[in-house]
Each structure stands twice: as structure tokens, then as C-alpha cells.
Structure 1
């Protein structure tokens, strides 16, 4: 069945360039009315201009689609609320939010200034929080919403010189985990994409030969799937170069130590058993994980 967004209204942040632009074009081509949000800053978040957002709006309109531009800075909650109010006034609802806006200020922890660390966290994490908070009640009232977080391999697995970026990118996964539970009864589905694509964010980070093989257009199908009507929820998809993987947080089977056995030395001696990834499995929520540990403790004490 063809995935369409007819009658749906989408907000895409950071949509003036790169992945956000392609996500927005893809939504519009499939029938969505799109709010093109872009602060217009440089890759490090400095500066600001509405020119990029307006160009994407022109592209969409030239192709017969419907779009408006918005220059809100996602780190300013008042501006974000005004953006959502504009979308509601213009189109009557908000069905899809893609939290794509991002900046880079790469330095090792020993060299990074705390202001730069904070700026990256503010855009990636708090920008996603502010935008999500601003649309949440609308989506609850209409009993429908699709929200996409943007993470990264740096957040999921780590990368040298990106402690600020990695911290923020892993944080949005935790945000998704909680919201996918909170939004369930109102059919608000929350997912995460971890893209690999040639954009201004990666132009001097990845080798040129690789950049030629990882176009943003190869990532957007995953984004559109994750905000579609039949999307899953609490799902992380990595996407790049036409290749896709699913990522989960998993836990190994609980290993019990009695009070008599319990010591740091016992943990060291049995660490291979504790970290036996052949026993790993995901949990629906934190309660399920805690319950598994407590049940193991109770059964072991009774044995």
C-alpha cells in the first residue's frame, strides 16, 4: 500500500538544508502540508536567515505542494510555541513532527568550552523537547500524532571528539522511550532515526568517497515510514546509503549473588556470565526490567 500524507500537517525542523529539506520535500510530494522550519544559522548554529526555508517552500509550491516557512529558533520555547500556533492557524492541525534541527561544535571534552557543550545540547535535546511539548496537546486532542527524533551513531555507540553531540543524541532516545509509553492511548507514536548522509554537518567529517555514496534521499524513506499512519513506535532505525538497521537497548539475563557471595571480586570473577550477550533481550518499559531483576532475586533467595 502506498504511504500517503493527504490531509496531514507536518512540521520539519532544520528543513532549509540537508536531510530536513529532503524529508520535507518527501512529505509534500506525498500530500502533506508542511511547515519548513529553519533558523538559518551556520553549521555551528551561529547567524540566522529565513532564506533557506523560503527556498524549500518555493520548491514545494513549484511542484504543486503546500508549504509555509518559519524561522523559529528551536532553543526558544516561545518561538517554538508561536510556530506551532502558526501551523494550527494556517492548516488547522499538526499530525507529524520531525525533530531534525542540529548543530555541531566538535571538540574533545578536555578542550570543549561549556558554552559550546550547552549549545549543542540545547539544539538537539531541548529543541526536540520544546517542539514536542508544543505539539503534544494538539496530538492528544486529535488522538493522532507521529513524532520523529533524530539520533546518531555517535550517540548510540560513541565517537571521538563528540561528547556534547553524543550526549544529546542519546538523550533523545530516552525521551522517545518515555513518550512512546505516554502517547500510546492517544495514538501518538514516537520513533528515532539515526541517519548517515552527506550534508553540511558531515562534509568535513567523512571521507569524500563515502559522501558520494550516502545521499540524504537514501535516508528519507525511513523517516517517512516512521511518521506514517502504520508506523511502529519506540523504534530506532539507522539509515544510510540505502542500508537500514534496527537498534534496541537490551539487557542480559539477571545473575544473582547471595549476601555471602556478594563482593566486587565476585562480580569480576563472574563478569563474563553477567555480560553474556547471548541471553540479551529488550524490555517494553523500565518496570519490566526492574521486575525481572526483583523476580530473579526473590526466586534465588527462596531456592
Structure 2
């Protein structure tokens, strides 16, 4: 029997690293389920892999192993698919604390994912960590960036038939950083990247609600020089949880997490509550 599509949406980045390096698997102190930003694939999170951490990336349709699949209709659909896969995973009932981490667009996916895990599947989450994304209720302009303060121009760039649309989108990518210049200068790679990025940005810009409230603690992350979102805008996520809320800032702009890897992992471990028993979800 072929696997359900949902089974392809989780990529075990730690297992991939062990296969490449031949290192034995040890008991992790933390399990991180990470949602990538617009245009990125699950492999965005390889920098998190460490011997004492189990890292899984959420793979959205339209990239890597899911290249031929159409874009999801909504961020909620992405989260529901990932939540079903997590609930069915053998490690979901283990006592290793589960941290759900999302960056930029992935932060909105992560919030929806934790809500679905708690409310629909009874899977406890030790920490929800959201990076570089304002809560929908703060009315953040999603296209604001160092390269352009005009959200209308970014929206126009989402139409592939508009004159200069590709060039405008490349300028936006260059402005927020995080994409290698070798990719931005390669027409063949851009032909693969830009359609996926446009689909993701449409989903991100149309996402205008908070999910049902969660029980997990909340950690809000941003780069100290990130012009796309400030700490006050991110603070709108407080309405999502009745649990404790903490902030961390790292040096850098919109993509600061890789350079702060060890500090980030320490912050995630420190803010995660101990793993609890799995609750029975609705049937």
C-alpha cells in the first residue's frame, strides 16, 4: 500500500545526518518540529541538527520530494496535514519534549500546527517558538522589507505575468537576505524557486486569523536588526496562549537563527516545559 501524502510532509533531518555520517543514534533531550519560511524546504533547518536533538522539518508541497504536488490551499491545510503525520508517528507518545518552531511564514504554520495537535489529536507540545512574523491581529504588512517598504509592489510581483515581476521578487529576496547569491543569479534555479515562493507568499499574505488558543508556552524570536517585524508586532501572538510568553533577540536581520544555532537550542530547551502524558484526542 502506498503511503498517504501526509506521510511525506515530515522529513527526519537527524536521521539523514546519521546516514551521511554513520553516527549512532542517542537519546535526544529535545525533539524539534520546524516549519520553514516562504520558498524554503524542510532542509532549511539542517543547521539545527546536533547529536542530542531530534530535528524534523515540515515539507510543504511543491519542493524537494514533493516537487510535483500542487500548492496547499491555505496555511491551515499545511498545518492539518503535518498534525496528522505527527499524531501517527511512533515518537509522538514519547517523553521527549516536543518543540514546534516556525520562521517567517512558517511561524503562522507552526501556530496552526500546535493548535491542531492540542485540540484535534491530544498531542502535548512543550513549547511553541515563533520567529520573525507578526501575529495576524497586529495587521503587520507582510511585504515590508529593507529592500522595499511598499507592500503593493510586492503584491504586484506575485503576478508572474506582470512586467518586471521576477526582478522585483529577486530584489525583495536580496533585501531580506537568507537566499544565496548563487541562487539569485542563476536563471534556472530562479525558475524553480520563484513559483514556489509566490505560492507561499500568497498563502502568508492571506492568512488573517489566530488559531484556537493553545496551552503550550510561547517563545517569540527575532533578529535585532530585522526591519520586517518589530518586537511589539510579534507580541500580538500573546493572545494565542494562556501559558508563559518569553522573547529572545539574536544578532542579525530577518534570518538570524542559523548563526545563533547553539544559543537558539539552549533557549528552546530552557523554555520548554517537561513532556506530559498524551491526552486523548477527539475521535
Would the TM-score normalized by the shorter structure come out above 0.5? no
TM-score (norm 1): 0.38
- Which gives a bigger RCO, structure 1 or 2 (Cα 8 Å, sep 6+)? 2
Larger CA Rg, structure 1 vs 2: 1
